[in-house]
Amino acid sequence: MNNAAVAWLMVVASAVSPAAPHVVVQSSIRQVVRLLRDPELSRPANAEKRRTEIHRVAASLFDFPEMARRALARHWDGSPARERAEFIRLFTGRLEQSYVGKLQAYAGDQIVYQGESIDQAAAAVRAKIVTAGRGEIPVEYRLSRVGARWAVYDVLIGGVSLVSSYRSEFNRVIEAESFASLLQRLRQPEAPAVATPGTLGRTPAHASRPTPPPGNEIREFRLAEGSGREMHVAVAYTYAGDHGPADVFLHAGALLGEELASRVPGTNFPGEPVSSGSGSVTLTITKTRVDDTGTFTSRTLRACLVSLRTRSVFLCRNFPLVHEWD
């Protein structure tokens, strides 16, 4: 076979074989980190240029329409096409801000890639963030084939799904109000520099006049629904932001003696991310068998605010279990 034929085959192969999932993820993260560290782009006069460049990289990494569909879940099919299109646009902006914020939070830490798995049109890229004196945080990028490329449709940090976190918040707004209300909240500019799940629609009217942050508090633990092996509870909280701008989670579980019937963050401890300010999240607690009959004997539930970066619990509150859950 002559050199021209070999060269042609290489071109054809590159056209039909997308870059491997781990290459897509690593390349995109390197590009965004480089943009964030560029001193010239950090100047206020170049803010729009930096946003444009970051959007270009993020658009090549993420499948934003698919992430939007998953975040709306069962509400997607019943929404008009025009409103879905606006939701994708607004949600894309929200996701980009959240993604950049998380990369900024870990900019000084080391990211170690641990491998990938591919199952036909789905893939996962596993990594860990090695923090200085704060342990390791597992990260998993989930991808699917979109045309001739691999694209991310979800990111799990410490076992917590980014899309699921938004889904919980969006569902709460739609169920309590409407899809139109959700769009209205997404149209509002974010008060914090980084938009993350849990901040939806809480931009104060007097944002130009900052007030001192409130103290940390877990105010209410209310049963939303319970049956079978699962109990859904709504937990109201206030987080002052004193443990960092990101990666603080609200967790809940059954209190058995002095132990939570769950695990520490980073080891699949159930919870939802929170942001500075006040809000409410809905958590699912799974029934824990503590005797031979399978009876749930604990009469106390506990909610905790946990820092994922330091793996420390900095606030807990116990609540009596008033729901008969057998």
Summarize pLDDT for 224-259 with one digit per residue, the tens.
655 555 667 778 878 777 666 556 777 676 654 434
In which residue are the tokens 């980014």 written? 162
pLDDT given at position 2: 53
Count CA atoms closer than 13 A to 233's CA, side-chain side: 26
> Do 41 and 49 contact (CB within 8 A), yes or no?
yes
Q: Is residue 295 very low, low, confident or very high in pLDDT (cuts 50, 70, 90)?
A: very low
Ranges for all domains in the chain classified under CATH 2.60.40: 217-320
State yes or no: pLDDT of 23 exceeds 80. yes
Distance of CA 78 to the CA centre of its chain: 24
pLDDT given at position 314: 72
* Average pLDDT over every residue of 134-146: 86
pLDDT given at position 310: 62
pLDDT given at position 235: 80
| Cβ neighbours of residue 198 closer than 8 Å, sequence gap 6 or more | 165, 169, 272, 273, 274, 275, 279, 281
Q: State both tokens at 75.
A: 């509400």
State yes or no: pLDDT of 267 exceeds 50. no
State yes or no: pLDDT of 289 exceeds 60. no
pLDDT given at position 299: 55
Ranges for all domains in the chain classified under CATH 3.10.450.710: 15-187
* Average pLDDT over every residue of 204-229: 54
State yes or no: pLDDT of 265 exceeds 50. no
Domain 15-187 matching CATH 3.90.650.10: the answer reads no
**CA angle, 104 then 105 then 109, to 5°:** 95
Question: What's the CATH architecture for 217-320?
Answer: Sandwich (2.60)
The pTM for the full model equals: 0.57
